[in-house]
Structure 1
């Protein structure tokens, strides 16, 4: 029996429009689109992050969002207010400003209502290696 190996390969985000989803999330994450096979393109689009081997998979769905996500992305930044404004200009909306347990962060909704957070650095050394946008 061979050794068992597992890893996070990708994080899936549901969107109603794949082209708009790629435009929004690629701009937010400074990601580039990877080509998928023609049979997958009507339902999926994949983004490569500039500083991670984990991918973002956009999945087209017409299902309505009915409740809070049980998983979401946290985006860290050295300037929360400026980053929230930049992402709003791309089409996100502010949903909730939270200050709890020593953290001050914004919960945003992408254009399809998916929640994600923008917060101060959790991993400052990793953030310092990230190129500026």
Structure 2
């Protein structure tokens, strides 16, 4: 008898410091320390509401095609969330309107795709703290 679970979602980046800065801000995550044998290749982020970690992996391999695995970020205001992520360095790639859904596919600074969509789990989203309104921070 054994157990298994998803422990990481791995994202390739060519600059670990920039990767931590972008994804920690994008996901409200905090960095967890790694041993010296791993920290030159990996950086680990703890999400505020999940036991799954984001593992950033340093690579010099160029992105060549669409990801087969990606992150979905749910939000109660898609456009506001897209603008927040763009301010962090994401770019809009594809606006999808299909099968009753209206969402954006974005790319992080390394070209990795991720989606911003309407709430799938509103009861879980309601537990998250709201992002500050940039218009009120001036």
Instruction: Please report the TM-score for the alignment, with normalisation by the length of structure 1.
Output: 0.98
1:28 corresponding residue in structure 2: 26
Give the Cα separation in 2 of the matches to 1:42 and 1:36. 9
Unaligned regions of 5+ residues in structure 1, if any? Answer: none
Q: Deviations over 1:14-66 (max 9, x none)?
A: 00100000000000000000000011011000000000000000000000000
1:50 corresponding residue in structure 2: 48
What number of residue pairs does the alignment pair up? 131
Give the Cα separation in 2 of the matches to 1:33 and 1:67. 28
1:129 corresponding residue in structure 2: 127
User: 1:120 aligned to 111, 118, 135, which one?
Assistant: 118
SS in structure 1 at match of 2:21: helix
Give the Cα separation in 2 of the matches to 1:131 and 1:86. 15
Stretches (4+) displaced over 3 A = none
Deviation of residue 88 (structure 1)?
A: 0.2
Q: Deviations over 1:48-97 (max 9, x none)?
A: 00000000000000000000000000000000000000000000000000
Deviation of residue 130 (structure 1)?
A: 1.0
1:83 corresponding residue in structure 2: 81
Instruction: State yes or no: 1:104 paired with 2:102.
Output: yes
RMSD: 0.4
Give the Cα separation in 2 of the matches to 1:72 and 1:83. 17
Unaligned regions of 5+ residues in structure 2, if any? Answer: 132-138
SS in structure 2 at match of 1:129: coil
Give the Cα separation in 2 of the matches to 1:37 and 1:118. 33
